Structure formats: C-alpha cells, structure tokens
Chains A and B, each alone.
Chain A
Amino acid sequence: MSDTQAPISSLADRARPVDAGAPVVGVHFLGATPVFVLGEDVLLFAGDDERRVKTHAGVILASVSDGKRIVTGGDDGKLIETRAGGENRALASDDKKRWIDQVALGPEGAVAWSAGKTAHVITNKREERRFEAPSTVAGLCFAPKGFRLAIAHYNGATLWFPNTGAAPERLEWKGSHLGVTISPDGKFLITCMQEPMLHGWRLADGKHMRMSGYSARVRSFDWTAGGEFLATSGSEQLILWPFDGKDGPMGRQPKILARAEARAAVVAAHPRQPVVAVGYADGAVKLVRIDDDALILARQSDGQPVGALGWDDAGQTLAFGTEAGAAGVLAL
C-alpha cells in the first residue's frame, strides 16, 4: 500500500496554479495553451495571459478538442466551436432546444453530437446526417479508420456509417451503456455501463468481453500510447486492460497500479510514453509509469475531487482542475 511506502517524489510545487473559480469539467489544449472548461459556460484560456470566453447561454454539458478547436454542447441546445483566438461560432442547434450532451470529433473535421435519441453528424463535406437511436444516446465516438460513428445506448451500441446506405450494425448487451470508445487499431469497441463495469465487443466476430471488479461506475477512460492498454477510473487504483494481442483482455487480468485510499476519478494517458495521469477523488493527481508502477505526485490532495485533466499533444504539459475550481498547469 502506498501509505507504507517511502513518500513518492513530487512535482506538485512546480505546477503553476490557476484560479479557475468554478468547477473544472474539462481540460483541453489549443496548441500550447491549456484551456479549462468550467461549469457553467466559460472556457478559461490559461496561457501567458488569462482569458475567459463565454460560450453557451447555459451549462456546457460536453466538450471535445482536436488541438485546433474545442467543440462544446450545451443545455441551451447549441453546438459551439471555439478556436485558439477565442472566437467562437455555433455549428448547429437543436430545433427543440434540447440538451446537447454528447459530442465527438472525427476525421477531416467531421463532428458528431446528440440530443435525446438523435445522433447527428456534420461530414467533412459539410453535409448533415442524422440517426435515431433506440434510446437516448449516452456516448459517441468515431472509429479511427473509415467514417463510422459508435453510439452507446440502452441495451448496447450501434455502429453507424453516415456516408453509406449500409444498415447500422447493432451490438447488443443488456443494460445501460453510458460511454463508448474504440481501440486505436479499430478492433475493439468498449462501453462503460450504469453498473461498475465495462463491456466490450471484438468487432471482427462480435465476441463479448466483460470487464468488472470496479468499486464505482467507470466515468473516465483513455487509451495509452500505442493503444496498448485501456486506462480506466472507477476504483481505488488505476485499472489497465491489456489490448496488445488479438484477443484483447479476453481471459487476462488487468494491470492494477497506483493503489490509493481515494478513488480514481479521471484518467488521461500520456500521448507518447507509457504513462497515465490519474486524478483522484481526494484531489491528488499522480503520474503513473505503467512498466514499474513508479509514481510522481503532480498535485497534493485537498479533499476536492479532480474534475478533469489532460495532456498537450507533445506530452510536455499536464493541466488539471478540481470540482472546487482549483486548477494547475505542470510543465515537465
């Protein structure tokens, strides 16, 4: 256990504090500038000069970024794109002003979002298409190859091909699926569920994988560099499911690292190295090296759950923030 080990080395003092002043619900980088998504409606650009950009007339419910723009969905029924200069524009809006609470970015500038049961895509040719899911859309992600959108919903997930007339492919598994991701090699689709577990399908043959053992619902997951592991929150340790072989985690145990008293709330894998940043429910942020479970403290615990964290594209800078509105930027 960590409390019997020697104190772990700490970089916490080197982090530049940022007073977000509102709950941090997302962290992105536009180029080298860390941007904090705040509850309710503000993007905080925390570069050399700090800037607050108001986006929605309401609460930001979802945000994604490709490093050039941040796309947010709000409870005002709008989908808004904000670029590095802080300029923003509405990409779409829901005609009934329903909450836009799922957003995903795809290849060549494609954007997907959902309101209620309807998933929408704006293709790279600026054409808008829509898909009616069998129940409320609870997760969206684009496949790494081809123009396919994965949609999580009640009793499974659907793979939709917005540019072709092909019938959507339904992946069934009983229960409520609340998030979705596809492995970087495109072979596996994983959902997190209402129950404290993940479910997976091998896309080639539809073979099922159940990944359970968590102490809470998994609310955050991320693929480690090269897609070797799926790093997940939801337990008092970092759980890493191996996806290096053709069978993925089938019949294998996860790697369990960074045991702690508090639950892992959010995870963000380093983009290049086998390292995962973990934000805990007690406010601590740790860098975890996958090979040997070496830990570096990036933020001291203060009792406030970490709300979000993220790396810049090069993996040189980590930014994090808590639900209480304390944030920091750590240059490595």
Chain B
Amino acid sequence: MPTPDTASKIPVTVLTGYLGAGKTTLLNRILSEPHGKKFAVIVNEFGEIGIDNELVVNADEEVFEMNNGCICCTVRGDLVRIIDGLMRRKGKFDAIIVETTGLADPAPVAQTFFMDEAVGAKTKLDAVVTVADAKWLTDRLKDAPEAKNQIAFADVILLNKTDLVTPDELRELEARIRGLNPYARVHRTERAKIDIAEVLGRNAFDLDRILTIEPDFLEEQDHHHDHHHGHDDHHHGHGDHDHGAAHHHGNGLKHYHDEDMQSVALRTDKALNPDKFFPWIQDLVAKDGPSILRCKGILSFKDDPERFVFQGVHMILDGDHQRPWRADEPRDSRIVFIGRNLPEDKIRQGFESCIA
C-alpha cells in the first residue's frame, strides 16, 4: 500500500509542563506569531486561559492500555479519535499542537503516533516541548514525579520565567535539567518568548534527523563555563539541601545526578554484531521498557557500509538504515537511554556483549 512520505504528514507538537509553567502562554505566542500557518489545537478540558485559534478541540486525556500485556504500551484513546476527526478537515491546517494537562505523562501521547496505524499514516510526532517554571522547578522535581517525567522526556525545554530567579539559580537549574536529560535543547525564556522555529518543525522523532548523539550543552553553553566557574564551590557547599548530588568535572561544569532519573550513554568504536544486538535491545526494552523513557542510537554493524539509527519510547522501537558511513567520520556506535532507575551495569554489559 502506498504510504504518504513523511513530508506530507501533518506534524504534531506536544506541549507539556507542570501547572502554571507557561504552556498556554507559549501556545498563544505560537498561534499569534505572523507565520501564516494554520494550526489545529488539542487542549485538555480544564484549561483556564482562552486559546486564540479557530480550530480548538477539547480532549479528555483518556490513557488506554494496549491489549498486549505490556503495562507501558499506552495510547491516548481520545487522540486516536480526535486526529481521525481532524483529518476530515485536511487542508485546513498545517500542523497540530497538543497541549497536555500539567499532570500528564508525555509517553502515551508519543506512543499514540507509533501504536495507531491510522494516526501514524497521516500525522507524525514532531517533538515533545516541555515548559518549566524557573522559580518552582526545583521544588517540583522533589515533589512531583510528573514534572520530572516531562523534563526527562522532552526534546525541547523552555526554562521559563527566568526573570524571577537569579543568574546563579538559573545555572543551577540548567545543571539540574542536564542531570535528568542531557540531550534536550534548553532555552531560557521570559513569558515563553522564543523563536517558534526552536519549538516547531524539530523532527525530533525522524530517523533521518538522528545526526549525532552528544549532550546538548557541549555545543550550546560552553561560553558560560568560565563565567560561573567561581560559583561552583558555593553550590557544592549547599549540596545537602538538593535532592541530587552535584560534583565537579575538570572543566568546572557541575553535574547533577538525580536519584532515580538518569541517562546512560554507551559508546564503542568496535563494530557490533546485528545478530547479537537486536535480540539484546528487544529483550532489554521488553523487560525494562517501563523504566526507559526514551532511547536513541547510531550503530555501526560489522561488514555493513550503512549507519543504522533507531529511537524508542518505552518498549516501542523504530529503526532503519540511514545512509552510508562517510569516510571522514569515525564508525562509532552510540546509544543513550533516559529513564528511571536504569540498571546501568546490566545495560553496559549487555551492550558490550554485542560487539562482533
């Protein structure tokens, strides 16, 4: 059956964030920019701020388990229905934005696009964008597992209301976010003011867009390091009241290790054996899928001239050959898992046993 290529699919952006973080402010900002695009907006029923858009659909956030015995295979039943209905207006909008409630888990929303064929045939998940309140994020990370989930799951994070905290606090917050999710793009914003190109059209779930797997702050915030080098001791002394433990690296960067949410990055320059790798990763996500929020990988298989890339949400994996390895790039295999209480030693040993 001919399936529409990804370019013709309607992109869907998921906006998450704890109560009061500024999701609706961001949403209204996106809608009011002079971009000439039309959006269909799916909001939860209990939103208090009005949405200024022609096409707004109220959703019930019904999370349904798939009938396959896996508790993490959940979909948003209401989205299946709403997107089916919205696609009857095809041509009337260019993109869909789903705003979740503050307490929502982003995973069922994301999984809907992989588990429901009709939804996946017509739309594609573009990115999960999380808005965090700079003033309250530290507290929420302590008392609200949902808030931690939303940060760990995100592709793009807006650290919002930066005008309400000091520069020192801001740096500490970024370090904290990095401890949960080193791979998301983090933007500092006031009143959710941001170039919408940083939020929309990210193709974060597109296999063709998996270019590198590097923690994002190496690229983006190197120039900050020297400036706050001197503050690190100060932070260190206050480590007690933090939930995570901070420690120094040689370059002066401070790293937080969250107690229960972390990322595990794996790398080898030795080629992998696909006959060992695929059974291993499938078994891993089948058993530990509930604790793995996101994963992503670029792989070099023995005697294979092409890069293999994959990405996943809980126990759903999506992978394909991407392109031939270039002569000038190292044939490394890299994988990152972001999750809760990940069995790091077991994952590392399993990965190493896949070396050809």
Contacts and interface: CB of A to CB of B under 8 A. Distances in A.
Contacts of A178: 80
A193 B75 CA distance: 13
10 contacts: A39-B89, A59-B88, A61-B85, A101-B81, A136-B60, A136-B81, A174-B67, A178-B80, A281-B1, A303-B2
A224 to B, nearest CB: 25
A194 B117 contact: no
Interface in A194-239: 194-195, 197, 216-217, 219
B67 A193 contact: yes
A216 B65 CA distance: 18
Interface string A175-205: 1101000000000000001110100000000
A188 B153 CA distance: 44
Contacts of B82: 99
A171 interface: no
Nearest to A282: B1
Contact of B117 (A98, A101, A193, A217): A217
A195 B77 CA distance: 12
A194 B116 CA distance: 8
Nearest to A236: B1
Given A136-B78, A282-B1, A303-B2, A59 B64 contact: no
Given A194-B77, A217-B117, A262-B1, A154 B89 contact: no
Interface residues of A, number: 33
Given A175-B66, A217-B118, A40 B88 contact: yes
Interface of B: 1-2, 57-58, 60, 62, 64-68, 75, 77-78, 80-82, 85, 88-90, 92, 116-118
Contact of A135 (B2, B57, B77, B92): B77
A25 interface: yes
A138 interface: yes
B117 A216 contact: yes
A194 B85 contact: no
A135 B57 CA distance: 18
B66 A138 contact: no
A281 B90 CA distance: 18
B67 A175 contact: yes
Contact of A61 (B64, B80, B88): B88
A263 interface: yes
A135 B66 CA distance: 15
Contacts of B89: 39-40, 59
B85 A75 contact: yes
Contacts of A154: 62, 64, 77
Given A98-B58, A136-B77, A263 B1 contact: yes
A194 B2 contact: no
A281 B3 CA distance: 10
Contact of A23 (B58, B90, B117): B90
A116 interface: yes
B62 to A, nearest CB: 6
Interface string A149-192: 00000100000000000000000001110100000000000000
A194 B78 contact: no
B55 to A, nearest CB: 9
Contacts of A40: 88-89, 92
A255 B314 CA distance: 37
Q: Which of A176, A178, A195 has the most CB of B within 10 A?
A: A176
Contacts of A216: 117
A214 to B, nearest CB: 11
B66 A194 contact: yes
B90 A39 contact: yes
Contact of B80 (A175, A194, A282, A303): A194
B60 A194 contact: no
A99 B84 CA distance: 12
A178 B66 CA distance: 13
A315 to B, nearest CB: 29
Nearest to A215: B117
A28 B75 CA distance: 33
Contacts of B1: 262-263, 281-282
Contact of A176 (B60, B64, B92): B64
Contact of B64 (A175, A281, A282): A175
A175 B67 CA distance: 5
B88 A39 contact: yes
Contacts of B78: 136
Contacts of B65: 174-175
A193 B80 CA distance: 12
Contacts of B68: 195
Contacts of A195: 66-68
Given A176-B77, A194-B77, A25 B88 contact: yes
Contacts of B60: 116-117, 136
Nearest to B64: A176
A136 B90 contact: no
A99 B60 CA distance: 12
Contacts of B66: 175, 194-195
A117 B77 CA distance: 13
A116 to B, nearest CB: 7
B342 to A, nearest CB: 29
B19 to A, nearest CB: 23
Contacts of A117: 60
B88 A23 contact: yes
A195 B85 CA distance: 19
Interface string A64-107: 00000000000100000000000000000000001101000000
Nearest to A98: B58
